[in-house]
């Protein structure tokens, strides 16, 4: 189970051409509150706050790019909650607005997130198309060594893993990880996301000891940065559960799986793919125990 960390290049709405400082202050305050909810893993609260910001902004006449930023964040929240139809609508509306505004950097951000959504739905060819568009465009705009290009390449690598193109995936992940560690050190969230994906790749390649090292390091970083109950933590717990099952460590697999389910049940929708996958695995693990 790979991590696809959503891209968010613009940190807050620009609130240009709104005609009122009150609009600027209110939209930015709501946006900041939503981002805080997202960081804490409370995506339902983030979604509610973003809808309020969008409604207020539309009533007050904020710029197209500001609306695009809010819609993109709404797409991220909806995807995390498992509402893929709403996420798709939000991302595509954000893309249209970003293209109309001529903001190519933000276009790449939304393309990245559309790739992540398609990946979550198992539409890997579509996911690759969006992910390559994001990586190629951002490389043109920022240069191949930029950290945001590394994020795009890591996302593309996760998709290529699903398509069985492991050599290219490994090359992209290794390059992305090196770029991010050089820029931000070894203990930032993006490094953890890439380590999670490396662990999944190593598992696929049968390198189980290396996979365990990578996943456990990813888990330590995520817990330190995000807290123990964040849904991002559950993704790596799920991978550790799958790895332990492969290695015959059923009790450890069940322990990690139950913890992942507990986190996801309290933070995402019941139809979220990761939660569904974890519940299916737990049923398999417990059924095997009863049969034994």
- CA-nearest of 243, 241, 201, 237 to 218 is 237
- SS3 of the chain: helix, strand, coil, percent, to 5: 80, 0, 20
CB 154 within 8 A of CB 7: no
pLDDT at site 127? 97
pLDDT at site 21? 45
pLDDT < 70 regions, the chain:
1-23, 288-292
Listed by start position, the domains of the chain span 1-184, 186-292
Q: pLDDT tens digit string along 162-182?
A: 999 999 999 999 999 999 899
The two domains 1-184 and 186-292 share their CATH topology (first three levels equal): yes
The answer regarding whether domain 186-292 maps to CATH 3.40.47.10 reads no
Query: Candidates 3.40.50.1470, 1.10.1030.10, 3.40.50.300, 1.25.40.10; correct CATH number of 1-184?
Result: 1.25.40.10
pLDDT at site 71? 93
The pTM (predicted TM-score) of the whole model is 0.78
């Amino acid at each position: 189970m790979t991590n696809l960390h959503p891209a968010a290049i613009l940190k807050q709405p620009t609130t240009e051409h709104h005609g009122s400082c009150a609009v600027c202050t209110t939209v930015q305050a709501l946006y900041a509150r939503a981002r805080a909810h997202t960081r804490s893993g409370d995506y339902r609260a983030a979604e509610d706050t973003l809808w309020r910001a969008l409604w207020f902004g539309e009533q007050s006449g904020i710029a197209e790019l500001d609306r695009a930023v809010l819609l993109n964040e709404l797409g991220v929240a909806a995807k995390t909650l498992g509402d893929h139809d709403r996420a798709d609508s939000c991302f595509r509306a954000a893309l249209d607005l970003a293209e109309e505004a001529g903001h190519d950097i933000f276009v790449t951000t939304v393309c990245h997130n559309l790739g992540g959504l398609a990946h979550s739905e198992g539409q890997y060819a579509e996911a690759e198309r969006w992910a390559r568009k994001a990586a190629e465009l951002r490389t043109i705009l920022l240069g191949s060594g930029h950290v945001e290009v590394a994020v795009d390449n890591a996302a593309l690598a996760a998709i290529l893993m699903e398509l069985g193109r492991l050599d290219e995936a490994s090359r992209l992940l290794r390059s992305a990880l090196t770029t991010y560690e050089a820029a931000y050190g070894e203990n930032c969230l993006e490094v953890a996301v890439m380590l999670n994906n490396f662990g999944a790749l190593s598992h696929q390649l049968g390198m189980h000891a290396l996979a365990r090292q990578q996943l456990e390091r990813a888990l330590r970083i995520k817990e330190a940065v995000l807290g123990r109950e964040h849904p991002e933590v559950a993704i790596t717990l799920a991978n550790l559960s799958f790895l332990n099952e492969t290695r015959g460590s059923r009790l450890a697999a069940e322990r990690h799986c139950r913890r992942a389910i507990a986190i996801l049940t309290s933070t995402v929708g019941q139809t979220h793919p990761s939660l569904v996958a974890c519940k299916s695995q737990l049923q398999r693990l417990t059924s095997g125990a009863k049969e034994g």
